[in-house]
Amino acid sequence: MTTDTQPNPIGVHALVWAGDTGPSSIAFAVGKTKATGFDLLEISLHDSANLDVAATRDALKAAGLGVACSRGLAFDADVSSEDPAVVERGEKLLHDSLAATRALGGTHFTGEAQPYGMTLGLEICNRYETNVVNTARDALVLADDIGEDNVLIHLDTYHMNIEEDDFVRPVHEVGDRLGYVHVGENHRGYLGSGHLDFASFFHALADVDYRGPVTFESFSSAVVMRGLSNDLAIWRNLWSDGEDLARHARAFIADHLHTSRTR
C-alpha cells in the first residue's frame, strides 16, 4: 500500500516466480506477488500464446494488483528491419500485445497505445540487446520524433549501469517524461549485493517527483522463459528462492523510496 511519503506502486516481474504464463503459473505468480506485499505484477508477453487473458485479469482484480506488460522483439520481428515482412510480423506482435495488455486492465506497454488511452514506454536497453535506444538522450530524441503525449521514457538501472555516466543526470534529463522504472542489480541478483549506487538513483527520482511504478526485475537460470531467457543471456543461477528474493527486494525498494523522500 502506498502512502504520501511513498506514492509509487512497487512491482515485481513475473519471471521471479515462473517461466511461462500458463494458468497454473499465473495463479502462482499472482498469489506470491500479493503475499510478498507488491502492488503490481509485470508480465512478459513473450509467452502470450499460453496466456488466458480473462482468467488472469480476474485473478489480478481479486488480488487487488495492478499490471504492466512488456515484450521485446526478436530479429525475425524487428520493426526497424528493411524487410517489409519482418516489419509486418513485428507490428502484429506489438498490436496483439497491446490488445492483451488492455484486456488485462493494464495501462503501460510498448506499442501504439494512444487509441486505447494507454502509455507507450520506451525502455532504454544496453548495446548488447539493441542498437536503437541505448541512453536517456536517445530515448528523448525518439520520443520527440514520435511527438505523442502518451510516449514516455522507461529507465532501467541494469541498462543504465552499462550505458550511462551516472544514475542522476539521466533521471534529471528525462524529468517529468519518466513513465516507468525497472530496478535491477548489475548482475540481476539480490538488490544491494552488487555495486550499483541505488541511493543516488532513488534521490534523483525524488528530485523529479517521480510517482509512477518502480518494478523489481531479476533473472536467474533457476526460472527460464523460452524465447526470453536465452535472448537475455541468463546463464547464471543467481538465486533459487524467488519468495526470499522478492521479499528482500520489496523491503529494499520501499526503504529507498521512503528515505529519498524524507531526507
| Annotated catalytic residue within 112, 173, 217, 243 | 217
Cell of 78: 524487428
Give 205's contacts (C-beta < 8 A, 6+ positions apart): 8, 171, 178, 181, 214, 257, 260
- Residue 154, strand partner residues: 123, 180
- Cβ(154)–Cβ(123) under 8 Å? yes
List Cβ neighbours of 185 (8 Å cut-off, separation of 6 or more): 157, 158, 191, 192, 193, 194, 196, 218
Let me know: does 197 contact 176? Beta carbons within 8 Å.
no
The number of beta carbons lying within 10 Å of the beta carbon of residue 8 is 21
Is 217 among the catalytic positions?
yes
Q: How far is CA 20 from its chain centroid?
A: 16
C-beta atoms surrounding 149 within 10 Å: 9
CB 210 within 8 A of CB 98: no
Residue tagged 530524441 (cell numbers): 141
Active-site residue (options: 42, 112, 123, 185): 123
Q: Is 173 a catalytic residue?
A: no
Catalytically active residues, by annotation: 123, 217
